[in-house]
Amino acid sequence: MTRKDRIAALKAAAKERILILDGSWGVMIQRRGLDEADFLGDRFVGHEGQMKGNNDILCLTRPDIVTDLHNAYYEAGADISETNTFSATTIAQDDYKLDAEAVRDINLEGAKLARAAADAWTAKTPDKPRFAAGSIGPLNKMLSMSSDVNDPGHRAVTFDEVYEAYRMQVQALNEGGVDLYLIETITDTLNCKACIKAIMDLEAEGMDQLPIWISGTITDRSGRTLSGQTVEAFWNSVRHAKPFAIGFNCALGADLMRPHIASLSRIADTLVAAYPNAGLPNEMGQYDETPGQTSGAVGGWAKDGIVNILGGCCGTTPEHIAAIAKATAGLKPRDPAPTSHDMRLSGLEPFVLAS
C-alpha cells in the first residue's frame, strides 16, 4: 500500500470500529533486564555518561527488541503501534549527551522499524491493516512555566529552540514512513503548539501531509494540564490544527480519566482517543491494575459511545491491549460532535463568543 492508501484505510477503519493503540513500552523494555551494553551497542561504545534508561536509543542498538514489541502489540490486536521515539528530540536527548545526527537517526530508524512491522502484519491480515504512529513526547523543558522558582519569567528554552527540536523529529519520522503523528503526554500546550507549527511549516514546504493525533495529560484531580488548562481550554488551543484525533493519556487510571474524556467527547468535532495508565502506581511505583480491570473500565466508555480510539499507557502490557480489543470488538465508534462556528478562545479557561 502507498502512504496515501494507508491514510485512507486508517480513516475508513476509524469510521467502522473503535481503533486500538498499543500499550506501554517502558514496562516491556524494563522486563528485558537490559544492561548498559545493550543501550550502548557498537555505535556508542566509549560514549560519555550513562546510556542505560534511554529507551529510544534501542532503535539503533537493539532494533530486534523494538521489532519484537511492535509484533507483540500487533498480535494482541492493536491497529496502531507507536515508534520508539518518545524522547527523541535534541532537547530531551541532551541529557544523554547525544548529538543531532544520533537523534535524527533514532527517529528515522524508529520509523522504519515501525513501518516494517506494520507492513508485515498488514500482509498477513489484509482485512485488518496495521498503522505506525510517530511518537512525539513531551520535553523536559517547558515554555509555559519557569524553571526557577525565584524568577517567574525565566525559561530554560526558547520557542524557536523547541520548534527546531520538533522540526527535526517530525521530518525524520515522516521520512521513515509513519502514517500519522502522535503528539502525546502533553504537559505544556505551548510546547505542543511549537510542534504543530513545525508540522504545518514542513508540509507547506512540500513534506507529505499526515494526520495529527494530539494527546494531552491531566496531571491530577484538578482536571487541568500541568500548564493549567481545563479540558475545553486545551481543545480550543489546538483545534486549529484540525487533528485526526484528540484525547488524553498517562498520569491517571481509567476511573479518574473518564470525566475528562466525557467532557472532550461532548465538544470535539473529531475522533476522541484515550489511553490511561493501568491504575495509579503503588508505593513501589508499580501498576497493579489487571487487564480485566483496565478493559472493563475503558470498555464501558466504548459502550457509552464516548471514544473512537483506546489503548494503554504506563503499566499496560500486550495482555491489557488484548483485553481492551476483546472488550470493544463490534462496538460502534463515537460520532464526532458537530463543528462549532463560534469563536472559541482559551487561556487557562475557555472563552466562547457565540456566532
Question: What are the b/e assignments for 94-110, b being 16+ CB within 10 Å?
Answer: eebebeeebbbbbbbbb
Which residue ranges make up the annotated binding site for Zn(2+)? 250, 313-314
Beta strands in the chain (DSSP E): 19-20, 80-82, 131-136, 180-186, 212-216, 245-253, 271-277, 309-310, 343-346, 350-353
**Whole-angstrom Cα distance, residue 111 to residue 85?**
8
List, in order, residues 6 or more apart from 149 with CB less than 8 Å away.
none
Question: What are the b/e assignments for 220-234, b being 16+ CB within 10 Å?
Answer: eeeebbbbbbbbbbb
**Whole-angstrom Cα distance, residue 248 to residue 215?**
5
Cell 464501558 appears where? 300
Which residue ranges make up the annotated binding site? 250, 313-314
